[in-house]
Amino acid sequence: MSFFNRLKQSLSKTRENFSQKFDNLLKFTKKIDDETFDELEELLIASDVGVNTTLKLMETLRENSKRIKSPEELKQKLKEEIINLFPETQISLPSPTIMLVVGVNGVGKTTSIGKLAHKYKSQGKKVILAAADTFRAAAIDQLEIWGNRVGVDVIKHQEGADPASVLFDALQAGKARKADLIICDTAGRLHTKKNLMEELKKLYRVCQKEYPEANITSLMVLDATTGQNALIQAKTFKEAVDFQGIILTKLDGTAKGGIAVAIASELKIPVWYIGIGEGIDDLQEFDPQAFVDAIFS
């Protein structure tokens, strides 16, 4: 199956939730008028595009209403405006790179790290994983399982150890073994927000102090099935961590794929990767054009 067909299949619930309803709206529309725009506005909000993003889209569409003569032209204009909301994605991981991966528990963070390790090892990069989510023993075990599966080294300590010390050891190992990429799993216990955010800042300082020549990047993992809650989580983490990109997981299991549009519009942070299945190769680079085409196809 081609990438586009896999993407289309994974977005089937989102497509049913939005595109089919949108097509039904247009099917009975002969003239594009205020009623059409009102119904489209309701449909976008119901599809987890979000109120702010929906209002922004509708404002543009209404401004161009005189040039939109047919339902097909409305559909094409909406697609164009949605694509324009996505910031340009430039994934740059020069060697050596330290990647801090953040996100609340349960979003698929550790699994995404395992799949990232597989992706970059397959490209010939030497990858090391740091099990710095020491708050949960299960997270350490899970990362070790992924390390064994992918064939990369995992640096770990005991449950409850200082995450910064785990990362410190991983950085030393990365230098000694000339790793191209060190991926650090971090804790995600949002209910102790202040402590967590301080911990993430500390990890960042360790990277800057111990490996100043390395490129440091941060990615936030969000679960698409949580809809607008994902946006709230991202805004909370943004206060502590200046992350450069987003991994949006579980798109294959939700009708709330519209959250990708809300995230792009409100945070102005590019989606780097999307999870479109359970397989080891099902973490794919995000392509806004293909994403929108798959929803509207």
Secondary structure of residue 110 in the 3-state scheme: helix
Angle between helices 19-27 and 288-296 (to 10 degrees): 60
Query: Is 117:92 a contact under the CB 8 Å cutoff?
Result: no
- pLDDT of res. 190: 57
**DSSP secondary-structure letter at 129?**
E
Domains and CATH numbers, the chain: 1-297 (3.40.50.300)
Q: Residue 177: is its pLDDT beyond 60?
A: yes
> How many Å is the maximal CA-CA distance in the chain?
68
**pLDDT tens per residue, range 202-259:** 999 999 999 999 999 999 999 999 988 898 888 888 877 788 999 999 988 888 888 8
**pLDDT tens per residue, range 50-69:** 899 999 999 999 999 888 88
**H/E element, 221:** strand 215-223
CA distance 282 to 7: 10
- pLDDT of res. 126: 98
Please, which pLDDT band fits residue 192 given cuts at 50, 70 and 90? low
